[in-house]
Amino acid sequence: MTVGIRNPGTAGQPRRRPAVPNGLYRAGLSVAALVFVALLVAFVVDLVVQARPAFAHFGFSFITGTQWNPVTAHYGALPFIVGTLETTVIAMVLAIPIGLGAALSLSHLLPSRTRAVIGTAVEMLAAIPSVVYGLWGLLVLAPWARTVIEPAVAFVFGHRGPGGGSEIGVGLLLAGLILFVMVLPTMVAISRDVLAAVPTEQIEGALALGATKGQVLSRVVIPHARAGILGAITLATGRALGETMAVTMVIGNTPAITHSLFGTTATMASIIANQFTEATEPFHLASLIAIAVLLLVVAALVNVAARMLVRSVGRSVSAIAVA
């Protein structure tokens, strides 16, 4: 009987996978990047080509016009641009302080078990579909807004200006509140991660020098995480700008600029969702696609501005650290 002899140098050792050549690896990554760029360019070019009839026919008045009338084929996108910015501002004015406070609590104040429970709840809120938020806002929050929130706002601001108008529940204020609830998980989750990444040496050093917990959070933790917090604000703002279904269900969808928090209006995303299936007139369809192009431009401008701000903040933090 012949007994096989194992090589003692290879016994028990896992087989190594053949290494991918460096040139092939780089070529694969380059192809993936080129495919992404090609898809993005094709998407933008296709939108611009289909929106060209509206821009060519109406010119710059398409952006500055306030009349949106498919019957007479007059289209102006200004009410929807203003509505998009108004709802986004309402949402972010509420989401930034509340989201930052919740993130500080989750990262540095609450016990570990409580952090885990609340962190899971935040992730669940981020996973809820927007149509569910819209139904909740329309069926639950709208009656409460009509009987509680809007009378309180009218009492604070008076019955003129922002507090004027009929208190019907749906409208600009409710859309901003729904957006606030929707962007809050994004704001909290990203801010929590960047705040938790602050080096413990800096926190312990500040505490050793006699700083209070509040002073450590305000003068050490937040300044060190400013770039990440700005990134969280940018992502939350981007979601608020492009949200469609939830806003469509609660904003009222009136193609007009409202000067009241209680007034009905529309956003660029909501007008597309609300009228796209009814766009039989050629300029109507082209105008809706042109609004999509404008929304893309607004989102791009917000991201570029935020990136520049993050870079400037990062440079200032690095300069302070070096000094």
pLDDT tens per residue, range 155-205: 887 777 677 777 788 889 999 999 999 999 999 989 998 998 888 888 888
Residues 113 and 248: their CA atoms lie apart, in Å, by 38
The predicted pLDDT at position 315 comes to 64
The predicted pLDDT at position 17 comes to 63
Token pair, residue 146, equals 């009509």
pLDDT tens-digit map of 262-310: 889 999 999 999 888 887 888 899 999 999 999 999 988 888 888 887 7
The predicted pLDDT at position 304 comes to 86
**Span 2-9, average pLDDT:** 50
Residues 241 and 91: their CA atoms lie apart, in Å, by 10
- The neighbouring-strand residues paired with 252 are 265
The predicted pLDDT at position 19 comes to 62
Sequence length of the chain is 323
CA-based nearest residue to 60, from 306, 294, 266 = 294
Question: Domains in the chain, ordered, with CATH?
Answer: 81-273 (1.10.3720.10)
The SS3 call for residue 252 is: strand
- The neighbouring-strand residues paired with 74 are 69
Token pair, residue 8, equals 């003692």
Residues 96 and 74: their CA atoms lie apart, in Å, by 38
pLDDT tens-digit map of 90-126: 999 999 999 999 999 988 888 888 888 888 888 888 8
pLDDT bin (cut points 50, 70, 90) of residue 42 is very high
44, pLDDT greater than 70? yes
